A and B are shown apart, each in its own frame.
Chain A
Amino acid sequence: MILLFEQCLNGLQFGLLLFLLAAGLTLVFGIMDFVNLAHGSFYMLGAYFAATFAALTQSFVLSAVLALAATLAVGMAAEVIAIRKLYGRDHLDHVLGTFGLILFFNELVRLIWGPAGMNLALPPYLSTSIEILPDVYYPAYRLAVIMVALVVAFFLYIVVMRTRVGMLIRAGASNREMVSALGINIRLLYTFVFGVGAALAALAGLIQAPILTVQIGMGENILIVALVVIIIGGIGSIRGAFIAAIFVGLVDTVGRAFLPEFFRLVMTPAAASALAPALSSMLIYLLMAAVLVLRPQGFFPADGR
């Protein structure tokens, strides 16, 4: 029972992290109709910047802020230099162009920081465990991650739902042409949104860093999962991304934890330990395929198309 509770917390934490990543992705996709595979590269850059600044400033919080600012700048620069040339093209062109960007960023990071990866150490006040229930210990840092992600989600909600900028974002997601016909400086909006998306990815990357360290190519694997999340949630919808992310996080973590046990009930231990890892890896893809077959627009599509 306690194990289940712990795993649910783990799943929630993973899901919230996915949300941070998926939010940026779905924003960019919804507003600019742009598939950005290089989103994972911003995740990686955020972690590398944070680790570098941490070595310089010795302050975890300060280096996080600096890393966000740095990645925001890189994101906006990338938008101006490369990304905006691909607007209006086929999705395939987006995929290919940003795939090229992934290769470029990976090698650039290797040139600048070397192949070995880096470490982001936790400040001592976060490296302990907290007794959240009698006799149940949970790492303080993971609780902090959950709280930060919830705060950011709430903040995003306020911005998107209650401010003028948010209104433009929602309008852009439903009807792009109308927004630019209304005279809004669409170019600036796009650059800004892309930068914010990159910063969100960077936040996810640097938050993960103390748990998972910092290495080249760390964005690729989690990018696929983020794409699965926005497909399930519905492209362009932050609310959809939130719900789908939590759901995917829980399914993946709890599935990984309990599927082997479950299999051992119905088949031999040897077969169970062969089948279970395969199936638990496949779970989220099966989920996405099922969603696409049954409800191709996802559960909460932004534009109702």
Chain B
Amino acid sequence: MSAFFTVRSLVIGALLVFLALLPVYVATTGQFFPLTLFTRIIILALAATSLNLILGYGGMVSFGHAAYLGLGGYVVGILAKEGITSGFAQWPLVLAVCALFALVVGALCLRTRGVYFIMITLAFAQMIYYVAVGLDRYGGDDGLTIYRRSQFAGLIDLSGKVQFYYLCLALLLAAIWLVSRLVNSRFGMVIRGSRSNERRMRAIGFPVFRYQLTGFVIAGMMCGLAGALLANHTDFISPAAMHWTRSGDLIVMIVLGGIGSLFGPLIGAVMLLVLEEGLSRLTEYWQIVVGPLLLFVVVYAHGGIDGVLASLRHA
């Protein structure tokens, strides 16, 4: 019983309650900006959660994960520009495109290891970035404004801020649930086992490559969904969303929050973006704090915040 009320679960529980009740606060005070900020945090937490599946649990350090944010966003944006604004048409296509891209890229990248894997995932992300930059019809480098959000035939209105927020929150929680199921299944065992010792897994007889590729594809699709949400949230998509530094941001969130922990990506996303928003109001030079902070966490607090919380055994 006492295991349930650890510091860690209390903090996570409080965070979830806060997120669930935020729209109530916003509705009573009429200040919509916190809702905008937290919608963005939740969407990026979804992207980070998808990356955590392969990076945190699978040890596959993909420096090109932001490509899926861009792909998802561009599918929505391009279809919207061409007149197809139904979410029922757009979103399944988002998942399909991301799955295909992940399949092809994964098949090529997963033949490499270590820093080579990092570099080749980065290379593919840069390639798709430059393709987007070259899409003159869809704005190229300047990006594409989305004049009409994904329509769901009256089921839900995405331009309603509160409805949209709850949709994102629901999808995030569903994603975290899905990741927890995957990680604790046989599939998850193989992925995690491959992270610590791949040769052994192969020796036992598991087709490691196939499992890793599957994980890669699932993570890609999840992140693509986050991209579709992001495009709807900002009414805008540009190649910048898939620049390698954005993938870096996602990795920073995971590291800050806790690699290989379920709620780590969410905690990291909240931390990083709130810190960014808060610090940038205090000083123009806020980035001088983030750099050393990151270094500090990497060197000393390896499990991230989640790790710190977990080590505080008693409430």
Judge whether B154 is part of the interface by a CB distance below 8 angstroms: no
Residues of A close to B127: CB separation below 8 A:
282, 285-286, 289
Q: A86 vs B294: C-alpha distance in the bound complex, in angstroms?
A: 13
Among B24-32, B106-114, B174-182, the one that faces the other chain is B106-114
Contact in complex: B126, A282 (CB < 8 Å): yes
Across the interface, do A227 and B292 meet the contact criterion of CB distance under 8 Å? no
B residues near A97, Cβ cutoff 8 Å: 294-295, 298-299
Task: Report Cα–Cα, A14/B252, bound state, in Å.
Answer: 32
* Segment from A104-112, A179-187, A191-199, A238-246 that makes contact with B: A104-112
The number of residues on chain B lying at the interface, defined by a beta carbon within 8 Å of a beta carbon of chain A, is 41
Which chain B positions have C-beta within 8 A of A278? 130-131, 133-134
- The answer to whether B118 and A106 touch across the interface, beta carbons within 8 angstroms, is no
The answer to whether the Cβ of A151 comes within 8 Å of any Cβ in the partner chain is no
From residue 214 to 245 of chain A, which have CB atoms closer than 8 A to chain B? 220, 224, 227-228, 231, 235
Asked if residues A288 and B291 are in contact (CB atoms below 8 Å), the reply is no
Please determine whether A289 and B290 come into contact, CB atoms closer than 8 angstroms: no
A92 on the B face (CB < 8 A): yes
Q: Mark B179-195, 1 if CB is under 8 A from A, else 0.
A: 00000000000000000
Q: Cβ of A99: which chain B residues have Cβ within 8 Å of it? A: 248, 252, 294
- Decide if A293 is an interface residue (CB 8 Å cutoff): yes
Known: A107-B291, A278-B131. A35 touches B115 (CB 8 A): yes
Asked, given contacts A91-B61, A96-B251, A274-B136, whether A289 binds B288 with beta carbons under 8 Å apart, the answer is no
Residue A275 interfacial (CB < 8 Å): yes
Residues on the B chain within 8 Å of A102, using CB? 291
Specify the chain A residue showing the minimal Cβ separation from B119. Answer: A231
Are B288 and A104 touching (Cβ within 8 A)?
Answer: yes
B88 is an interface residue with CB less than 8 A from chain A: no
Q: By the criterion CB–CB under 8 Å, are A100 and B287 in contact?
A: no
Chain B residues with Cβ below 8 Å from A126 are none
Q: Is B57 an interface residue (CB 8 A)?
A: no
Chain B residue numbers with a CB within 8 Å of A289 are 108, 120, 123-124, 127
B30–chain A nearest beta-carbon distance, Å: 36
Give the residues from 115 to 147 in chain B that come closer than 8 angstroms, CB to CB, to chain A.
115-116, 118-120, 122-124, 126-127, 130-131, 133-134, 136
Sort A-B residue pairs by CB-CB distance and give the 9 closest, nearest first: A278-B134, A104-B291, A100-B294, A103-B291, A107-B288, A100-B295, A285-B123, A100-B291, A281-B130
Q: Can you list 17 residue pairs at the A/B interface with Cβ under 8 Å?
A: A85-B299, A96-B251, A96-B255, A96-B294, A99-B252, A100-B298, A103-B288, A224-B122, A235-B115, A278-B134, A285-B130, A288-B120, A289-B108, A289-B123, A289-B127, A293-B111, A296-B116
**Besides the contacts A86-B298, A285-B124, what 15 more A-B pairs have beta carbons closer than 8 Å?**
A29-B115, A35-B115, A96-B298, A103-B287, A103-B288, A110-B285, A111-B288, A224-B126, A227-B119, A281-B130, A282-B126, A285-B130, A286-B123, A293-B111, A296-B112
